[in-house]
Amino acid sequence: MDMMIRSKIQDLIEVFYHSPFKIFYINSTDGEKFSKPIGIFVSLGITTSMETLKNLRDIILQETSYKAEIAEITSKSQKGQYLNRVINLNPSQYLATPDNSIGRDESLKELDRILDKDKNFKDYSRLSELIKKLDETSGWENHGITKEPYQIFHKKINYRKDGNLEYRIGVYVI
């Protein structure tokens, strides 16, 4: 594994993905000991859709001679370096549901409550706009709304942390 692969993949991703992203070396097979890099991992935004991940994987497969797969990795800091290993191929994204989340039906009930009890037209207007936005984009499958404050959140994400381990979903290239 050399810097050339990393550089080629970075240049290719920059053409098709215009948000910030990171590239990590996969430098462990067991998650305990370091090894020579055996591949690279492209970590896109935390809320990047699975469709976008698959599109970028397909672009790498079409435009290079490398193998590319959607993968899940763990990372942990050890001796001042990050130890990264692949733990799963073709994973599902992590589900994130904040405690104060509400779905479409609850959002509509909340609108009625605001109008009947609070008479807070600013909140009513804000929530109404968010519901409309999700309705128009068929966004309820992958998004929800949080209360206090009212905002849209992504239900499916590509990053989570558990203790000293960080989990990421992205594109693994070898």
Q: From first to last of its 174 residues, what are the pLDDT tens digits of the chain?
A: 667 899 999 999 999 999 999 999 999 999 999 999 999 999 999 999 999 999 999 999 999 999 999 999 999 999 899 999 999 999 999 999 999 999 999 999 999 999 898 888 899 999 999 999 999 987 899 999 999 899 999 999 999 999 999 999 999 999
- Whether the upstream peptide bond of residue 20 has omega within 30° of 0, thus cis, is no
Contact predicate 132/1, CB 8 Å:
no
Q: In this structure, are 28 and 105 located in the same domain?
A: no
Q: In this structure, are 56 and 106 located in the same domain?
A: no
C-alpha–C-alpha distance, residues 150 and 161, integer Å:
25
Q: In this structure, are 17 and 89 located in the same domain?
A: yes
Q: In this structure, are 22 and 83 located in the same domain?
A: yes
Q: In this structure, are 33 and 87 located in the same domain?
A: yes
Q: 11 lies in which domain range?
A: 3-94+157-173
Q: In this structure, are 80 and 138 located in the same domain?
A: no
Q: In this structure, are 79 and 11 located in the same domain?
A: yes
Q: In this structure, are 67 and 105 located in the same domain?
A: no
**Structurally, how many domains does the chain consist of?**
2
Q: In this structure, are 67 and 140 located in the same domain?
A: no
Q: Side chain identity at 4, as an amino acid letter?
A: M
